[in-house]
Amino acid sequence: MFENIHVSLTTPALLFPAISLLLLAYTNRFFALAALIRNLSADGKPINNSQLKNLRQRISIIKRMQESGALSFALCVLCMIFIYIGFNKVGALIFGCSLFLLLYSLLLSVIEIRISVDALNIHLKEMDR
């Protein structure tokens, strides 16, 4: 199945900037969410249960996004090590796993964006009152 697949050292290296930027974006989202939660708790105003549920869900998703992105990055490095020592087939397989983790991370990002939009809609409904 993997006989004809050839991955050179430059192939996984191409993902390094992309994954690094993604992890930076995920970290910024986490910090923004953490600041929002701190501001909500400092206000002393009652917080809607749906807002709390939404915030908890978003924190969990961002955590999984960061974990899968970091694992994808680690597998890229591992792939390069295996290719460097001459195990191209193993390196190609690890690179494929890295790509799937990156895809999973991106899908989680889309889900988190949708939940974030739901949170804004909840806030807008409260402003209508």
Count of structural domains, the chain: 1
Sign for the pseudo-dihedral over CA of 23, 24, 29, 30 = positive
Residues with Cβ within 8 Å of residue 118, at least 6 apart in sequence: 54
In a domain, 2, yes or no: no
In a domain, 63, yes or no: yes
Furthest-apart CA pair in the chain: how many Å? 66
Q: Is the pLDDT of residue 4 over 80?
A: no
In a domain, 39, yes or no: yes
Residues 18-46 have a mean pLDDT of 85
In a domain, 67, yes or no: yes
Residues 3-7 have a mean pLDDT of 71
pLDDT confidence band for 114 (50 / 70 / 90):
very high
In a domain, 1, yes or no: no
Range of the domain at 86: 9-128
Question: Which SS3 state, helix, strand or coil, does residue 87 take?
Answer: coil
Cα–Cα distance measured from residue 63 to residue 84, given in angstroms and rounded to the nearest whole number: 32
* Residues 43-85: tens digit of each pLDDT: 777 777 878 888 899 999 999 999 999 999 999 999 999 999 9
Instruction: Tell me the whole-structure pTM to 2 decimals.
Output: 0.83
Phi-psi region of 87 (alpha: psi -120 to 50; beta: other; left: phi over 0): beta
In a domain, 4, yes or no: no
In a domain, 95, yes or no: yes
- Looking at residue 2, its pLDDT comes to 56
18: closest CA among 79, 103, 115? 103
In a domain, 3, yes or no: no
